[in-house]
Amino acid sequence: MPVTRFTAYSQTMPSPSSPSLDEKIGQMLMVGFRGATVDENHFIVRDIQKYHLGGVILFDYDVINAQWQRNIVSPPQVKALISSLQQVSIRPLLIAIDQEGGHVARLNERTGFPATCSHMELGQQDDLSRTLTETAKLARTLADIGVGLNLAPVIDLCSNPDNPVIAKYERCFSADPQKVAEHALHYIRAHHQHGILTTLKHFPGHGSSRSDSHLGLTDVSASWSARELLPYQQIISAGQADVIMTAHVFNRQLDSEYPATLSKATIHGILRQQLGFEGVVISDDMQMGAIVDYYGFDVAISKALAAGIDILVFGNNLHYDEQVVPRAIAVIKDLIRNGTLREERIDQSYQRIMRLKRSAKLDWN
């Protein structure tokens, strides 16, 4: 049977009409932090309690300090860390992690977690029952420690075998969109059976890229194909898309001015209107080079929200800013005050996020 997440908070979660503007904005942020434990003096606890932070993201490796064990030391430690974070929040937190499998698995053998299979390995074997079985093991690990949202599966096509950030790390099932969709649906099914939400990424397609958007501008205008939308279309139509993550890729075919995360034409036009997705849209890390090197903090937030992003991610692993939550909230409130952003837009995202958190009891049809 599916596991019900967030049960302890089901009676205290406010009705959609009761929260303040600050509370609604706080739910739209997901932030990373340093530490295998937290106490009342940690900024992440402050952000949860004072600023109503809605989600956190865990990492095993601290990029800036070039050190392992940033948040993850052992299974009992991570479980205790997650529990302590949930206990200080009056609402259920979205605890998120990149646990794709294979090379991209924050919970790995180094810290006592089971080995996992990469998307590419599963796609090459092309045995859907094995994809379901192997992913069920992965999902059970997440359920056991209290992670509620896996930032996976990757449904980018393996269209460029030399892709430095997707194919190089075996993060794609196949170059065939139908095969990608089939394996992704089984991957999602295994998660849903254990009460774990999933995230399709990286919309509208990162598989053809020749550069890494963590490091700077990634232009897929000449290499991207509309075939890369097919897995999204199929999974959305099947009603199995919980969350979709945008890519910081520039694609002139879709928007001649902004990368996907900041593109209303891409998110609202294609994802919402053309593909009919009504769920939560989450950004890739807003501190990645493709964003911070070309757009200021204020502009990036403004454009992302105008485009249709519901949750802004600040991983604090490429840049570390303990004030990023109050800074982001101040920017969003200024946008509302000066008329650039309507409060109704915040309401829309808040409603989607609350529906997502309430949907943690999941069924597979």
Give 202-251 as a DSSP string: EET--TT-SS-TTTS-EE-TTT--GGGGHHHHHHHHTT---EEEEP-EE-
Cite the active site residues: 214, 284
Provide mean pLDDT across the span 19-41. Answer: 97
Which of the four pLDDT bands, split at 50, 70 and 90, describes residue 218? Answer: confident
Start-to-end CA span in the chain (Å): 13
Cα separation, 358 vs 112, in Å, equals 31
Please tell me whether residue 260 adopts helix, strand or coil conformation: helix
Q: Is the pTM of this model over 0.85?
A: yes
Dump pLDDT digits (tens) for 191-209.
Answer: 999 999 999 999 999 999 9
Residue 17 has pLDDT above 70, yes or no: no
Residue % of the chain over a pLDDT of 70: 92
Which of the four pLDDT bands, split at 50, 70 and 90, describes residue 217? Answer: confident
Dump pLDDT digits (tens) for 297-331.
Answer: 999 999 999 999 999 999 999 999 999 999 999 99
Provide the β-strand partners of residue 12. none
Q: Taking the CA of residue 224 as centre, how many other CA atoms within 13 Å lie in the half-sphere pointing to its CB?
A: 24
Provide the β-strand partners of residue 62. 67
Provide the β-strand partners of residue 312. 29
Amino acid at 360: A
Transcribe 42-54 into DSSP letters. Answer: SHHHHHHHHS---
CA dihedral for 34, 35, 36, 40, sign (positive or negative): negative
Q: What is the pLDDT of residue 66?
A: 97
Residue 5 has pLDDT above 50, yes or no: no
Residue 260 near residue 221 (C-beta atoms within 8 A): no
Write phi, then psi, for 280 (nearest 5 degrees): -80, 130
Provide mean pLDDT across the span 136-161. Answer: 97
Q: What is the pLDDT of residue 210?
A: 86
Amino acid at 247: A
Residue 55 has pLDDT above 70, yes or no: yes
Average model confidence (pLDDT) across the chain? 92
Q: What is the pLDDT of residue 189?
A: 98
